Chains A and B, each alone.
Chain A
Amino acid sequence: MNVTTNAPRLVRQALTGEVWPPVGDRHVYRTGPDGQAFALPGMGGMTLGMHCGDPATGYASDHLEPGASVRHRNPGANMALQFLTCVGNAVRVEAGPAAGTVGHVIGQHAYVLVDFGGPVGERVTTGDPVTVTAIGQGLVLPEHPAIVVKNCDPGLLARMPGGTRPDGRLEVHVTARIPAEAVGAGTGMVSEYANTDLMGAYAGLGDDLSLGLEGLRIGDLVAVADADHRFGRGYRPGFLTIGVISTGQCMLFGHGPGPSSLMSGPAEAFALVDDPDANLASWLHGDTEPVQ
């Protein structure tokens, strides 16, 4: 993205975590849109077989988290890990059969979500320790003071298309535009933590649930209408939030594929370009040098 930033002033910090297990309780089931009881995998652990660019929906899954789901064992350290980690940050596996493998963060979902970009993830499992090289919080675009950027690695931003236009707007490429009606669970939470579930993408369920979002892919950049995520997440006509789809299929009602917030501001500060290639898969693993 051709835009001036304060990237040289950002702080790089090593954080640790581990691939966190899926968790359940003895009642097993949760509740779908029509009251269906379900027990489906998706959250936690190392979820295999889907990467950025793959469909977000169409799986027998709930809160599908592609790749590794990472937390820190200490509650306070975990919040630091969740808040400070940014989309695009490099993540190195430190032990186990996949030691030395490097992946990248694709979003937050009360876990840090890591894509390994290929079959190497097959050798990663729950409990494997990882190091996150966290950088990005505090990123500012001085020529776009109305836009707040968060959760975004400056290296990722540099590889994205678009940038400052002659008219002063920030050009951002997106694959989809999301209506405000789709915004579900996650509203009211801070925008440095977890993501915003989008309703209306319950592939295979009723037409009356659909908002036409079943075609979303993991890693898609999307524009959420009437959403102000500068200091939390709320409905606000005339504002816009750019996010990256970091989670997929949901059966839990009021939930769905979710964008992690990257930028937010008044709609007139942005120039959106519809671009089917606006997906993390196009840029994510661009820094192929392993983290030392």
Chain B
Amino acid sequence: MSAAAAAVGGGLRAVAVNMLGVVEHPSLGGTPYRVDAEGRPYLPVGDGGLVLGVRLGDPVSALAGDHVAPGACLVHPDPAARLALVSYGCLGNEVEVRTGRAAGARGAVIGKRGEDGRLITGFRQEDLARMRPGDEVTVRACGQGWQPRVPPGAVAMNAGPGLLDALPVSWPGHGPMTVGVRMILPSKVAGNGIGRPAAAWDLDLQLAAGASGAGVPGVATGDGEMPGADGLLLGDLVAVTDLDARHNMGYRRGWLTVGVVVHGTSPLPGHGPGITPLLTGPVSVLSAAADATGHTGLTEWGVGLQ
């Protein structure tokens, strides 16, 4: 891998595109149930759509929901346009409601989700309370492919211009870039999202909704300890070791990927709180410093929601 290839977009100006997002309505099949790791049925609440009362900084495991994201998920009725919305939208990008009672309200992209694609947008709670599924939102998409100031060999993605300035990221212009994170996790907890393109998918972290070692409730057998999601907040930065996210996400020894937590836990096996990747690179140019109690990641203030 040459440095030149790694820096596609390096030195070039970012292009902004106004895109149309539509506030998603949740959808379910003919049976409401999904099945958790113990084989128990559950009804997924908050998996997409417009979620009220959940904010950046809230614990990822505080709610009896599934993949709950803070704010409004945006989609597009055309599947290809929906994927483009998610691929080009970047964290920190400005959004503005165009229709409905909240027309004129401004917010920001605070995450994205994979599969069919969802752009997660944050608004002030009083604006979210006046919004409804179907409302149209303009997304000023800007930043994908463009490279902010990062060490040679590292690659940034999904970050709008200025986003890294609002995060605990420091690089003196030489040596490795250091990122403050809540926790550093091994690649084996990486779940859904592995093998998928980091520009359009989040990566679910397979963490139990509780304390480390608590395992999954109701399990009497199995001698291992499931790492827990306690202490992890929406908006936190998390580092995953031995993970290369330049294109598709996959195992590569000696690499590190840093992402921002964009949604909460899930009872579904192989799923959990998801990160949208922001930075990836060899550990020689990208390092993480964990602070379990003092870390501050993406905040409402950081994206102009306060």
Min C-beta distance of B3 to chain A, whole Å: 12
Across the interface, name the chain A residue whose C-beta is closest to B1.
A34
A-side contacts of B244, CB under 8 Å = 33, 253
Please state if B35 and A199 are interface contacts (CB–CB under 8 Å). Answer: no
B-side contacts of A34, CB under 8 Å = 1, 5
B-side contacts of A228, CB under 8 Å = 37, 269
Interface string of A128-148 (1 = CB under 8 A from B): 000000000000000000100
Given contacts A181-B242, A253-B195, contact A268 B223 (CB under 8 A): yes
Min C-beta distance of A40 to chain B, whole Å: 15
A172: interface (CB < 8 Å): no
Min C-beta distance of A55 to chain B, whole Å: 21
A-side contacts of B242, CB under 8 Å = 181
B206: interface (CB < 8 Å): yes
B-side contacts of A255, CB under 8 Å = 195, 248, 250
Across the interface, name the chain B residue whose C-beta is closest to A232.
B269
A100: interface (CB < 8 Å): no
Please state if A254 and B224 are interface contacts (CB–CB under 8 Å). Answer: no
Given contacts A234-B269, A235-B188, contact A184 B195 (CB under 8 A): yes
B-side contacts of A199, CB under 8 Å = 194-195, 250-251
Given contacts A226-B188, A236-B222, contact A31 B247 (CB under 8 A): yes
Docked CA distance A188–B273 (Å): 13
Given contacts A34-B1, A209-B251, contact A236 B246 (CB under 8 A): no
Min C-beta distance of B138 to chain A, whole Å: 28
A161: interface (CB < 8 Å): no
B101: interface (CB < 8 Å): no
B187: interface (CB < 8 Å): yes
B27: interface (CB < 8 Å): no
Please state if B224 and A226 are interface contacts (CB–CB under 8 Å). Answer: yes
Interface string of A87-104 (1 = CB under 8 A from B): 000000000000000000
Interface string of B184-226 (1 = CB under 8 A from A): 0011111110111100000010100000000010000111111
Docked CA distance A183–B192 (Å): 10
Given contacts A33-B244, A188-B269, A267-B223, contact A234 B251 (CB under 8 A): no
Please state if B37 and A146 are interface contacts (CB–CB under 8 Å). Answer: no
Please state if B225 and A232 are interface contacts (CB–CB under 8 Å). Answer: no
Within B236-267, the residues touching A (CB, 8 Å) are 242, 244, 246-255
Q: How many of A's residues come within 8 Å of B, CB to CB?
A: 46
Please state if A254 and B194 are interface contacts (CB–CB under 8 Å). Answer: yes
B270: interface (CB < 8 Å): yes
B183: interface (CB < 8 Å): no
A-side contacts of B255, CB under 8 Å = 208
Across the interface, name the chain A residue whose C-beta is closest to B225.
A237
Please state if B39 and A231 are interface contacts (CB–CB under 8 Å). Answer: yes
Docked CA distance A188–B39 (Å): 14
B271: interface (CB < 8 Å): yes
Given contacts A253-B247, A253-B250, contact A237 B271 (CB under 8 A): no
Docked CA distance A184–B249 (Å): 9
Interface string of A172-207 (1 = CB under 8 A from B): 000000011111111111000000010110000010
Within A205-264, the residues touching B (CB, 8 Å) are 206, 208-209, 211, 226, 228-239, 252-255
Within A40-61, the residues touching B (CB, 8 Å) are none
Please state if B268 and A253 are interface contacts (CB–CB under 8 Å). Answer: no
B38: interface (CB < 8 Å): yes
B-side contacts of A211, CB under 8 Å = 251
Across the interface, name the chain A residue whose C-beta is closest to B36.
A231
Pick the contact of B5 from A35, A179, A236 — CB < 8 Å?
Answer: A35
Please state if A187 and B191 are interface contacts (CB–CB under 8 Å). Answer: yes
Docked CA distance A231–B226 (Å): 17
User: Among the interface residues B194, B196, B226, which one has the most CB atoms of the partner chain A within 10 A?
Assistant: B194
Please state if B251 and A182 are interface contacts (CB–CB under 8 Å). Answer: yes
Pick the contact of A233 from B39, B196, B270 — CB < 8 Å?
Answer: B270
Across the interface, name the chain B residue whose C-beta is closest to A35.
B247
B-side contacts of A35, CB under 8 Å = 1, 5, 246-247
B-side contacts of A236, CB under 8 Å = 37, 206, 216, 222, 224, 226, 269
Pick the contact of B248 from A233, A254, A266, A268 — CB < 8 Å?
Answer: A254
Please state if B252 and A209 are interface contacts (CB–CB under 8 Å). Answer: yes
A7: interface (CB < 8 Å): no
Please state if B254 and A208 are interface contacts (CB–CB under 8 Å). Answer: yes
Min C-beta distance of B113 to chain A, whole Å: 13
B-side contacts of A32, CB under 8 Å = 247
Min C-beta distance of B192 to chain A, whole Å: 3
Across the interface, name the chain B residue whose C-beta is closest to A34.
B1
Pick the contact of A238 from B39, B187, B223, B246 — CB < 8 Å?
Answer: B223
Within B265-292, the residues touching A (CB, 8 Å) are 268-271
Docked CA distance A186–B194 (Å): 8
A-side contacts of B5, CB under 8 Å = 34-35
- What is the interface of chain A, defined by CB distance below 8 A to chain B? 31-35, 146, 179-189, 197, 199-200, 206, 208-209, 211, 226, 228-239, 252-255, 265-269
Q: Can you show 11 pairs from A to B with CB atoms below 8 A apart?
A: A183-B194, A188-B192, A226-B224, A234-B206, A235-B270, A236-B206, A237-B225, A252-B195, A253-B247, A254-B251, A255-B248
- What is the interface of chain B, defined by CB distance below 8 A to chain A? 1, 5, 35-39, 186-192, 194-197, 204, 206, 216, 221-226, 242, 244, 246-255, 268-271
